[in-house]
Chain A
Amino acid sequence: MPNNAITLELKSEIEDLLNSYVQCIDDDDLENWPNFFTDQCLYQIIPRENHEIGLPTAVMWCDSRGMLEDRITALRHANVYQVQWYRHIISNPVITTDDGETFHVQSNYAVFKTCNDGESTVYNVGRYVDEIVRDKGVLKFKKRSAIYDTHRITTLLVIPV
């Protein structure tokens, strides 16, 4: 009865992780963002059109903690883009597990983007498909896929979703 492993306490702990993750990005605390992942991890932002027909191309594909950190260093020091803020709205998650150790979690997200002109737009909408594990007592993403419906990215994508 592995799904019995999902107690209310665990559910709340997973929800905390999901909420803290988007708060970290929306608060521009991006140096902290890699800490949500295990050292061996995969983070990808992949268009739904590829995902659905089994094509692997993603716009961000980071398979190490180092690559996550490099994304933030590049964003702070190298990439050129206009000032912008994200605001994530996420749904309640659906959680399953086979072994009580790896939790498969899916939730919907919408990212609104606001730039200096003051207009807020629906920038990227999709779902997170996650594998969450306990790492030294703390829940972390072993794998996080942001599968986005808004397959036409406006201007550029620099901040992770």
Chain B
Amino acid sequence: MNAQEIINKIDVNGNHSPFATYLDEDVFKLEQENLYRGKVWSYIGLDVEVPQPGDYKTTFVGDTPIVLTRGEDGSLNAWVNRCAHKGAVICRERHGHSDDGAFTCVYHQWAYDAKGDLKGVPFRRGMKGQGGYAKDFDMKNHGLETLRVQTVAQMIFATFDPETPDLEEFLGEKMCENIRRIMHKPLKLIGHTRQFMKGNWKAYAENSRDSYHGALLHLFYPTFGIYRQGQISEGITDKVGCHNYFNVSAPPKEDLDYKDYADEANREMQGPHQLQDTRVLNFIPERDDNVALSIQSLFPSVVLQQIQNTLAARQVLPKSTNETELVWTFFGYEDDDAAMDEHRLRNINLVGPAGLISMEDGEAVELVQNGVHRDGELRSFIEMGGNDVEDYTSPMGMDENAVRGFWKGYRAVMARD
């Protein structure tokens, strides 16, 4: 089977997909061409990562290196990190600032502005009548390859394809609403962590949409008897199903004094072990809606999370068929006080590459990759809780609805039949 045939074999309702989609190098290449450079928006950063004109951040769309910049006019721009002259990488730092607004390739000093337009070429007219470029050399024709950039709230996305529908249409109103719920006031950047998984990016995309595994793989909660009765949970997808979020409410307010939230949690269903310091679990409500956990997966590139008071965007970067990097960008709010700053740091122990409740996701992705090795013609079975995609499920945890939604959306972009 060639790569396109493998992709076409994905079930139209997302009930199964061939393991070869995790293994085949040509599938990976097709994804770069038809998905990441196709009609999708990829997350590339947060507004607060490039606050000032001249600020930049290097990142990726799919496996293509790009640069996100803030122009002199305050605009957000993105271009492929590749000089129009010889193809050299222009920005080599993870992030930085250009004092004069110029982005200059070190190799031959071709200089661009934040929008990617070529502004200067050394020895353009040569020297003493020798060399230089021809008279009709026009800098306008030698700019950088640019991407379209749009934002929802304070999240920045980019697309290669001029025909991709506008970002808000691509995500749908329900998804935008939940982003605005998290980003309801100015953010404060508090750091990055990076997790490298030896597995395919789609195994991670499934993992973040899979509420079924939560209490089964992540044993931190049951081991410490942290189970909260009276929680309301729901899973919501967009029209296609490829974007989704799970929101889980904290226990009803009348039952609980939030200061004692962790004590309460520890008491409610006592596990065999007890936490010595339950402050790691504290939750301080920051909105009116009482949601204590929100996991939102936006196809194809990012997971926006609120777990207690940890807030993060997890950017999913495909590196090869069997390598994926997860970049966690943690944030709080500009008006956080010192106590809230400290509380978030303590809460972050729950998540990220060393997260007490989430570290196993890296393990799960690798278990899948190692397990499916060599047998690409076999396929997964994704029929928990139905065999199509519903736009609303409640409670969460009893279905693979959004995993089917991922494959449905993936197939819609990638299949050719």
Contact = CB atoms under 8 A, between A and B. Distances in A.
Given A57-B330, A70-B276, A158 B354 contact: yes
A61 B355 CA distance: 11
A152 B223 contact: no
Interface string A60-71: 111111110111
A31 interface: no
A79 B356 contact: yes
Interface in A48-103: 49-50, 55-67, 69-71, 73-74, 77-82
A147 to B, nearest CB: 13
Query: How many residues of A sit at the interface, in one of the four size bands?
Result: 35 or more
A157 B196 contact: no
A155 interface: yes
Interface in B328-369: 330, 341-342, 345-346, 348-349, 352-354, 356, 359-360, 362-363, 366
Contacts of A47: 191-194
Nearest to A61: B345
Given A80-B218, A152-B325, A155-B195, 10 more contacts: A56-B345, A57-B348, A59-B352, A59-B353, A66-B276, A79-B219, A80-B219, A80-B363, A81-B360, A151-B193
B275 interface: yes
Interface of A: 45, 47, 49-50, 55-67, 69-71, 73-74, 77-82, 151-158
A8 B288 CA distance: 60
B220 interface: yes
18 contacts: A47-B191, A49-B94, A50-B192, A55-B191, A55-B192, A57-B193, A57-B345, A59-B353, A65-B276, A69-B276, A74-B223, A78-B220, A78-B223, A78-B273, A79-B220, A79-B359, A155-B362, A157-B359
Interface in B187-224: 189-198, 217-220, 223-224
A151 B273 CA distance: 32
Contacts of B195: 152-153, 155-156
B197 A155 contact: yes
A73 B276 CA distance: 10
Given A49-B94, A77-B223, A157-B354, A57 B192 contact: yes
A49 B196 contact: no
B190 A152 contact: no
Query: How many residues of B sit at the interface, in one of the four size bands?
Result: 35 or more
A156 B192 contact: no
B349 A81 contact: no
A80 B353 contact: no
B155 interface: no
A47 to B, nearest CB: 6
Given A61-B349, A157-B354, A55 B194 contact: no
A23 B159 CA distance: 50
Interface string B134-172: 000000000000000000000000000000000000000
